[in-house]
Amino acid sequence: MLNMSFDLIRYLFVLEVNSTLVWLPKWPAMELSLLLGEVIADALPIVDARAWKKSLSAWHSYCSDVARKKASVKFVNRNPWPIDAVIFWYPAKRSYGKGERILFELKLLGRSADHELFVEVILPAMEQIAMNPYIGTKYKNSLWGHFDISSVYSARGSSWKPILKNGKLDLRRKIISSQWSNGLKFGPDSFNSLDRIRWLSPFLVAPASNKAGRTGNRKSMPVPPLSSILEAIAERVCYVTLGKYSTAMDFLNSIEKDELASWREAMKYADSNSICRHNIKKSSQLFSGLRMGSQTFKTPVHETLIPFLSLGSILHIGEYTHFGCGTYTMV
């Protein structure tokens, strides 16, 4: 199976609303990302802030063009931060009252999986957003400035360990970038028979190429087959481990022979298992091509694919992964 010796730190935020009523935007992960990025950029030294401000400026222009429904919207970098991160807002309702809790997950990947970066840069910026009601989008009953950070947890395998509770940060807890996989079982013996993928967030996955890594200008497919999902996983792992300019072929050329054999076997079973039904529909006007729903395959997913699919559900696949897009569960 794919090499899982890459760096990843997962943080779970628990926010508690401290206002009578707040409304979440339609895309809370995107709004939080841009807002958090601005606060971080303002706090950094001028030289370090340049990359942040450049990426954020392009995204603000993009969102403005989409909102005005301009005929031609310029391409924008898929990541508004100059570091590799995912903000996954847990699916929930839109309105919250005082005392209710909201959860989202922040994932730092690859070279950006640095706990000091989180403690010294990201967490203080998040605390500013919690306390200052004048930060961010100006609309009535906004969440920003009207919540407390109730607690923050870090993932160690399948469990979450508290690092911040009751406003106190545990500086003694050592967070390392390999602990995310401690005790996790990616083998098929830990799963029941599975034949359906339910997307937990909007996704945009391109069709599989004839040769992994030679993706060209592939257009997205409304309902991605297993082969496309599998290749998207390889591309995502490649991005995290080798960098953004690498291809899936580069990664497959770098793994051990037994891992490559597992990959080829998985692709063989993926190609032979077609989709029998789905309820995939368009999800957003903000990001062209995004879809939501579930898809069911003609036969249960072969056990050789399970480790790959399990990994992809953690990393997120396809486009706009920074905003939590491209994650799913297998049922």
pLDDT above 90 (res 112): yes
Task: State whether residue 277 is helix, strand or coil.
Answer: strand
- H/E stretch holding 328 reads strand 328-330
pLDDT above 50 (res 213): no
pLDDT of residue 214: 39
Mean pLDDT of 160-168: 93
Mean pLDDT of 252-262: 83
pLDDT of residue 140: 82
pLDDT of residue 292: 94
pLDDT of residue 188: 58
Could you tell me the pLDDT band of residue 244, with boundaries at 50, 70 and 90?
Answer: confident
| Tens-place pLDDT, residues 295-326 | 999 999 999 999 899 999 999 999 999 999 99
Mean pLDDT of 118-145: 89
d(Cα 207, Cα 224) in Å, to the nearest integer?
A: 6
Could you tell me the pLDDT band of residue 67, with boundaries at 50, 70 and 90?
Answer: low
User: Please, which residues have CB within 8 angstroms of residue 295's CB and are 6 or more apart in sequence?
Assistant: 196, 197, 223, 224, 275, 277, 278, 280
Mean pLDDT of 264-277: 94
Contacts 24+ apart (CB under 8 A), 56-61: 56/80, 59/34, 60/34
Residues of the chain with pLDDT > 90: what percent?
Answer: 61
pLDDT above 50 (res 104): yes
- More reliable by pLDDT, 71 or 149: 149
Could you tell me the pLDDT band of residue 21, with boundaries at 50, 70 and 90?
Answer: very high
DSSP 228-268: HHHHHHHHHHHHHHH-TT--HHHHHHHS-HHHHHHHHHHHH
Mean pLDDT of 241-257: 78
**In the structure encoding, which two tokens stand for residue 49, read together?**
């802030």
